[in-house]
Structure formats: structure tokens, C-alpha cells
Amino acid sequence: MDQQSYEKKIVGEKAAEYIEDGMTVGLGTGSTVAFTTKKLAERIKTEGLSIQAVSTSHATSELAKSLGIPLKDLNDVKKIDLTIDGCDEFDPDLNGIKGGGGALLFEKIVAVSSDKNIWVADASKSVRRLGAFPLPVEVLPFGWKHMFGAMEDKGLQPKLRMSGKDPFLTDSRNFILDCHVKEIEDAKSLAKWLNALPGVVENGLFINIADQVLLANNDKVDVITR
């Protein structure tokens, strides 16, 4: 296992310790939180932990189901006690970019419905300023070239995400425009500007959402709290 995969494993597994009996848990998407999901399944089996989970993507639902984790529809739970998710970048204020795997829309809906959000991050995710990781923006396929044009005019250097020869499709069958901004100066106003464009469904800037980040630091896990 390479260093980055090892870091994903230790932070992912550590996060499963934060889940308590009786909780409704939001399960994020990606390779890091997959370790949390697997560890959670192990805890359910060995400790008899009783929880219910809400998933943020088709991929996570499939993984959770295969491991026997009880899943609920978001509409059937009043609130989520704790959501654990990965991130693509986070800054010193614990704001971040998400959506590298295309799951940003459901992830954001689940995150804002949660009492607490913990992100699990390998060392590469910690940045001084957001933007080196291309910012994913989920858009409707209808008229996407016009949204693309508006983003281009704003200097965001969008690129249509592809999956082979076809546009990548999100779980909601939308497209993703990845914006190569490099350094985002004002994340809050950029997020606002993007979401005000008709046809933009959601952007991957997660501002004031994470309460804690579990960050891999060699063999240790640092806990950073907002």
C-alpha cells in the first residue's frame, strides 16, 4: 500500500470511532470514507452497534448494502447526527472543495442536514488556499455550453468532465464542469456567483460545513476543530 492509501486508511478507520450507538450517520463518498464504511460494518458485527445510515451516492449505497449496513432514505430521517466524508482540499478555516468523484450535490444536501460533519483527509488535502484542485460545478445538460461560456468569461477555465468519449454523468444525470481557478480569492462570493447562474445545480465549495477534519500526519491522526 502506498503512503497516500495508508493515510486514507488510518484516517478513514479512525473516523468510525466517532460513531455512537443509536446514531443516524451520513456516509460520504470516495476512497477515504470507504475505509470508514468498512470499519463501521465491522463495528456493527463485532460490537452489535445499532445505527442507521444515509448515503451520499450510488457507489456508497452499493458498498454499504454489500456490507450489511442499514440504509435509510434521507426523506425518512428527521436529522442526521454525524456525517463523515472525504474532501479534495481544505484550508485553515476548514472550508473545502469536494466533488472530485462527482458526488458533491448529494454530499452537500446530506452535510447541511447533519448536526456534525467530520472530514477525513490524507496529508495532500491540506492547503493554505483553495483552488489548486479543480473546482467541480454540477450543471444541467440543457444549455451547458452557455454556463460554460459564462464561467470562461469569469476566468474560471472550465473543462467538461469526461468519462471516456462521453460526458461524465452524476447520480442525478447532470454534467460536471471542473474549474481550473488555481487560487480562489473569495470562496464565498464565487460560490454565490456560481449558484446564481441558471442551470448550475450546485458547486463544490463547502463553506462553513466541516466541524472537524481528521488529518493524517505520518502514522498519526491529527484532529482539527473549527
Ligand X SMILES: O=C[C@H](O)[C@H](O)[C@H](O)COP(=O)(O)O
* Closest-CA residue to 88 (of 200, 176, 157): 176
Does residue 107 carry a catalytic annotation?
Answer: yes
Among 88, 89, 138, 202, the residue binding ligand X under the rule CB under 6 A is 88
Residue with grid cell 466533488, as numbered in its chain = 99
Is residue 103 part of the contact set for ligand X (CB under 6 A)? yes
Number of residues lying near ligand X (CB under 6 A)? 17
C-beta of residue 117 within 8 angstroms of C-beta of residue 85: yes
Among 41, 63, 104, 214, the residue binding ligand X under the rule CB under 6 A is 104
Scanning 24-32, 42-50, 71-79, 179-187 for contacts with ligand X by CB under 6 A, the matching segment is: 24-32
C-beta of residue 122 within 8 angstroms of C-beta of residue 32: yes
Q: What's the rounded Cα separation, in Å, for the pair 90 and 98? A: 9
Scanning 44-52, 100-108, 167-175, 178-186 for contacts with ligand X by CB under 6 A, the matching segment is: 100-108
Is residue 117 part of the contact set for ligand X (CB under 6 A)? no
Q: Give the chain's count of helices (H) and strands (E).
A: 6, 15
Among 55, 80, 89, 100, the residue binding ligand X under the rule CB under 6 A is 100
* Closest-CA residue to 7 (of 217, 226, 223, 225): 217
Q: What's the rounded Cα separation, in Å, for the pair 85 and 91? A: 16
The interface with ligand X within residues 25-84 (CB under 6 A) comprises 28-32
Q: Which residue is nearest to ligand X (CB)?
A: 30
Whichever of 28 and 158 has its CB closer to ligand X, that residue is 28
CB of 108 to ligand X, least distance (A): 9
**Per the residue annotation, which of 107, 152, 183, 185 is the catalytic one?**
107
C-beta of residue 170 within 8 angstroms of C-beta of residue 200: no
Binding mask 124-163 for ligand X (x = CB under 6 A): ----------------------------------------
**Residue 133 backbone dihedrals phi, psi, to 5 degrees:** -80, 130
Whichever of 29 and 126 has its CB closer to ligand X, that residue is 29
In degrees, rounded to 5, the angle at the alpha carbon of residue 202 between the alpha carbons of residues 73 and 108 is: 40
* Closest-CA residue to 36 (of 58, 17, 57): 17
Catalytically annotated residues = 107
Report the interface residues with ligand X, using CB under 6 A.
Answer: 28-32, 85-88, 98-104, 107
